[in-house]
Amino acid sequence: MKIMVAIKRVVDYAVKIRVKSDKTGVETNNVKMSMNPFCEIALEEALKIKESGFASEVVSVSMGPTQCVDTLRTSLAMGADRAIHVDTKEMLYPLSVAKLLKALVDVEKPGILILGKQAIDDDCNQTGQMVAGLLNWPQGTFASKVVLDKEKNVATVDREVDGGIETLSLDLPVVLTTDLRLNQPRYATLPNIMKAKSKVIKKFTPQDLNVEIRSDLEVVEVTEPPKRKAGVLVSSVDELIDKLKNEARVI
């Protein structure tokens, strides 16, 4: 069985972002870009499943401009067997990504598709659910534990939900999206980074996959959130309690 992992290139999680002065978006030129942290977890899970003998191959896929190849190269260095890049300069919303992923699933026929639960740039938390809907596959979102049963062809998934942990049993093929606590992603070692250079990254365009990129959303503007007014440092617990009582009136 094959596992497909979707990977997004985003502004590094530690970067303090800057909104462009013309309000068209967030500055991404000369900003450190990395693999979305949830995608790293997705890839790690796929690699673990392969190492357990359940899967034979891990294919990583990414969509977007040419630089996505760097992110895919990182995934190959972590241990993915090969990669697919869907090359497009167009703005991609989750609906388009889900359609492209569905088209790739139709080509590659994986038994498991793993994604991160959300990208840390658009914070949508949609793509996995959408591609599961398009494929009519069951979905195990916000997964914190995945146990696979080879004989029954079933995945038992623990999900992080509002009130605690929910456990589901899902028939394969399945779409999973990863929560932070699913695993601890590995680092790529230098030999593996070298090896990754000879691994194959196949290129597709949306046209090759017969997917029309159209959008029903329009970004009107991107602005900075309102700034909080400067706070004060208090010197003692008594002063803090006094301020909360008499100034802020919250206790």
Partner 1 sequence: MATIPMLRAYKRRSTSTFRYLSTLILAEHEGGSLKAQTLNAIAAANYLGKESSISLLLAGSGPSLQEAAAHAASCHPSISKVLLAKSDKFTYPLAEPWAKLLQLVQKIGSYSHIISASGSFGKNILPRAAALLDVSPISDVIKISEPHLFVRPIYAGNALCTVRYVGSNPCMLSIRSTSFPMISMAADSKSNPAPIDEVDLSTIDEDGISKSRYIQQTTQESERPDLGNARVVITGGRALKSAENFKMVEQLAEKLGAAVGATRAAVDAGYVPNELQVGQTGKIVAPELYMAFGVSGAIQHLAGMRDSKVIVAVNKDADAPIFQVADYGLVGDLFEVIPELLEKMPEKK
- Residues between 197 and 226 with contacts to partner 1, criterion CB under 8 A: 215-225
Among 22, 200, 228, 246, binds partner 1 (CB under 8 A): 228
Shortest CB 94 distance to partner 1, Å: 7
232: burial class by Cβ within 10 Å (0-12, 13-18, 19+)? exposed
Pick 136 or 198: Cβ nearer partner 1: 136
In the complex with partner 1, which residue's Cβ is closer, 107 or 165? 165
From residue 106, how far is each of 88, 89, 208, 234 by CA, in Å?
Answer: 20, 23, 13, 62
Please report the sign of the dihedral spanned by the C-alpha atoms of residue 202, residue 213, residue 100, residue 76. positive
Based on CB atoms, which residue is closest to partner 1, 53 or 238?
238
Please report how close the Cβ of residue 200 comes to partner 1 at its closest, in angstroms: 30
CA distance between the termini of the chain: 59
Is residue 46 within the footprint of partner 1 (CB under 8 A)? no
Q: How far is the CB of 16 from partner 1 (least distance, A)?
A: 7
CA angle 101, 94, 131 (to 5 degrees): 40
Residue 176's DSSP bridge partners are 114, 140
- DSSP class of residue 23? S
How many Cβ atoms from other residues are within 10 Å of residue 132's Cβ? 25
Contacts (CB under 8 A) with partner 1, residues 121-180: 121-127, 129-134, 136-139, 141-142, 144, 156, 159-171, 179-180
Q: Which of 172, 120, 166, 123 is nearest to 142 (CA)?
A: 166
Give the residue with the Cβ less far from partner 1, 79 or 173. 173
Give dist(CA 42, CA 54) in Å, integer: 16
* Contact map string, positions 1 to 40, toward partner 1, x by CB under 8 A: ----------x-xx-xx-x------x--------------
| Cα 92 from Cα 126, distance rounded (Å) | 13
Q: Shortest Cβ distance from residue 198 to partner 1 (Å)?
A: 36
Tell me the closest approach of the beta carbon of residue 7 to partner 1, in angstroms: 18
Residues of span 101-120 touching partner 1 by CB under 8 A: 117-118, 120
Structure tokens at 165: 């942990």
- Residue 30 or residue 236: which is nearer to partner 1 going by CB? 236
Closest CB 212 distance from partner 1, rounded Å: 12
> Contacts with partner 1: how many residues (CB under 8 A)?
80
Name which of 34 and 85 has its Cβ closer to partner 1. 34
